[in-house]
Amino acid sequence: MSIASIASAVSLNAADAINQLAGIESGTRLDALRAQRPDIVRYAEGSYRALVEPEDLGGVSAVDRNLIALRVAILTGSTALVDRHQARLRRAGVADPVLVAIATNPTADALSPRQQAILRHVDRLTTAPTTATAAHLAELGAVGLSPRDVVVISQLIAFLSFQVRTLIGLQILAEEQ
């Protein structure tokens, strides 16, 4: 299912991920502001569903996706995203040493070589995307990720970066009230 088809099915009346993370309640000024751009709301939610909670996970599991999201959240200082994805990983049975490694040392032995490679990619694309090379992509292939998986992971990182910037903008607007 494409992002466009998911987005067309998203109801603007439903609390979307960004509203939930930003704590935006129905009927507030920020809710009204977001409602002025329904396509943006719909496509952002469609992207969230397609990348974070897809029907077809492919070779990137739900745990992988939340591990990626948690690392992006930590690197960008997004408390709301840290809380959300850390809770999801805990519910999935991810052990505390893995959560600590994601937060403090993504090369720790608590993480598998595959997870370490994914988190190196997350760090690179989140903090210094222009430094990515073909050799870095080959490293992801060496741990069993297909080209489709690498694209999904990269899209997820890009979307999460967009989500963080959106949350920061909404927080600034909320503080201006």
Q: Where are the domains of the chain?
A: 3-175
pLDDT at position 12, please? 45
In this structure, the number of other CB atoms found within 10 A of the CB of residue 75 comes to 20
Report whether 21 contacts 15 (CB < 8 A): no
In this structure, the number of other CB atoms found within 10 A of the CB of residue 38 comes to 11
Confidence of residue 172 (pLDDT cuts 50, 70, 90): confident
The mean pLDDT of 43-55, rounded to a whole number, is 92
Cα(28)–Cα(31) distance, integer angstroms: 5
pTM to 2 decimal places: 0.85
pLDDT at position 99, please? 96
Q: What are the pLDDT digits (tens) for 87-97?
A: 999 999 999 99
Compute the Cα dihedral for 28, 73, 2, 133 and give only its sign.
Answer: positive
Domain 3-175 is classified in which CATH homologous superfamily?
AhpD-like (1.20.1290.10)
pLDDT at position 177, please? 67
Cα(28)–Cα(15) distance, integer angstroms: 13
User: Is 64's pLDDT higher than 90?
Assistant: yes
User: Is 175's pLDDT higher than 50?
Assistant: yes
Residue with token string 């994805």: 85
Compute the Cα dihedral for 114, 120, 124, 125 and give only its sign.
Answer: positive
User: Is 121's pLDDT higher than 70?
Assistant: yes
Q: Find, among 32, 55, 59, 63, the residue nearest to 173 by Cα.
A: 32
